[in-house]
Structure 1
């Protein structure tokens, strides 16, 4: 049995079709979990072909009752939920308080904060009945810093840390744990979620010196993230496993010491 084994666990993972969500889904499946993967995008076909323990559910989790329906589908198939990984997220265009557009603010807050709260709410009854359950929220360096992203993303990820701590304490006597990982820059397709019509170049230029302290550079001087999706996935797997059974309410940076500044 591998370290941080997830053998026979049932996990819901959002954002399973790409980036950190995809890497986490594959790792969980390799470590013996049954994964109910949720994404607004297309099914990751390779996972469906490689693992009979993978179930894909396509939906837009920002729609009314979508989280509840997704959780009900998972329970209908597996009769339980052991792990929830809130991984799906979007970025902003580095907009500041004086440039933020309502459309951008509402979208980022809905996907990065409201959806995870709805999913936690939907999963908690089953976890309370089982007297066990683990939640891992994918937060960010921007959860603990105001100097590396735009207003909407920063506010949403700060909020997710607050929600994580609240859930951890509220249910810590009921066998339920809630932790978060705080990744640094990771090469995923999250940049494609930016509404470029709202990109704030002045805001970006204000934050870029802090970002440069964390990333490497390619031959042309462009920033290159150094943290891989697999690095984050391993952290999520650890927090989801019994290896971390006394870790609750923790915010775990995965950023090669960027969090120290």
Structure 2
């Protein structure tokens, strides 16, 4: 089956930035392939899209597993014939800890989702887009990929890696009709950031420095979704390999 509408694949689409961006892209006319590890929240996002008059499908996936990534890419192409937009967004947050206290299992957990998941998404979506001769990819990095955050060494390393993958992919595919950019949010009002006070209470550890929200608040997911939609649109046609901070001045 082919689809005249643009087709967007969004990972981590069950909540937060992923859900807000799925709804924004759907409102702009795209058909959305909703990808999330959590089936219940992923299906909720799909229902919200349909309730607003949009179209799409849900595919459950662990983005750190090659077969799951291949499956969501294959399902998208089988159903709609192409992938025009890929929001490579799924990620997890590290438990605050000094670097020397971080367990190897925590390192592996963060890297498997935040780096391997982004790599695998790029690997298989780029194959589709190269055959098409077109496509736009937006990776979710973080302000922690621009500078480190205290007590988040592994998370910071993972987001620096996302920026490296973004620039490499942009360089290699710039002459093949494919643009690859990254967005770097600061604090965003999502389930991840909502869990931070609980994390501090559970571990009893408070970082010596916490991010300075210069605007006095977290971003709303919809505010980040607007930037992603811009990067996914022809309005950003001359941008590739760009690392776009949407952080309320956090990195100033």
In the alignment, what sits opposite 1:240?
232
Q: Hey, what does 1:94 align to over in structure 2?
A: 96
C-alpha distance in 2, partners of 1:162/1:198? 34
Offset from partner CA, 1:80-110 (integer Å, 9 cap, x none): 1111101111101122320111111111111
User: Which runs of 4 or more aligned residues in structure 1 lie more than 6 Å from their structure 2 counterparts after TM superposition?
Assistant: 192-195, 197-200
Rounded to whole Å, the distance in 2 between the matches of 1:78 and 1:252 is 30
Equivalent residue, structure 2, for 1:160: 162
Give 1:228 shift.
Answer: 1.1
Q: Report the Cα distance in structure 1 between the residues aligned to 2:209 and 2:203, rounded to whole angstroms.
A: 11
In structure 2, which of residues 127, 141, 144 is the aligned counterpart of residue 142 of structure 1?
144
Q: 1:148 to 1:205 in 2, by over 3 A?
A: closer
* Pairs within 5 Å for 1:1-150: 8-41=5-38, 42=40, 43-44=43-44, 45-148=47-150, 150=152
Question: Which secondary structure state, in structure 2, belongs to the residue aligned with residue 122 of structure 1?
Answer: helix
RMSD of Structure 2 on Structure 1 (CA): 2.2
Contact 2:151 2:207 in 1 (8 A): no
How many residue pairs were aligned? 243
Shift of 1:171: 0.6
Gaps of 5+ in 1: 1-6, 217-224
* SS of match in other structure, 1:57: strand
Residue segments in structure 2 that go unaligned for 5+ positions in a row: none
The whole-number CA distance in structure 2 between the counterparts of 1:52 and 1:35 is: 8
Query: 1:220 — aligned with what?
Result: none
Q: Distance in 2 between matches of 1:252 and 1:37?
A: 24
Distance 1:130 1:58 in 2: 25
8 Å CA contact 1:89, 1:190 repeated in 2 = no
Displacement, 1:8? 2.1
Distance 1:254 1:201 in 2: 30
Aligned counterparts of 1:101 and 1:37: Cα–Cα separation in 2? 32
Alpha-carbon deviation of 1:212?
3.0
Which residue is 2:251 aligned to?
259
- Asked whether the 8 Å contact 1:95–1:152 carries over to 2, the reply is no
DSSP 3-state at the match of 1:160: helix
Give 3-state SS (helix, strand or coil) of 2:188's partner: coil
Q: Equivalent residue of 1:177, what SS?
A: strand
Question: CA–CA distance in 2 between the matches of 1:226 and 1:18?
Answer: 16
Partner of 1:214: 214
**Shift in Å, 1:113:** 1.1
Deviates further, 146-155 or 168-177: 146-155
TM-score in terms of structure 1 length:
0.86
Structure 1 segment 188-203 matched on structure 2, within 5 A: 188-191=190-193, 196=199
Q: Distance in 2 between the 1:22 and 1:97 partners?
A: 32
Equivalent-residue separation in structure 2 for 1:16 and 1:213 (angstroms): 25
Residues 132, 68 of structure 1: alpha-carbon distance in 2 compared, 3 angstrom cutoff = same
Distance 1:193 1:205 in 2: 15
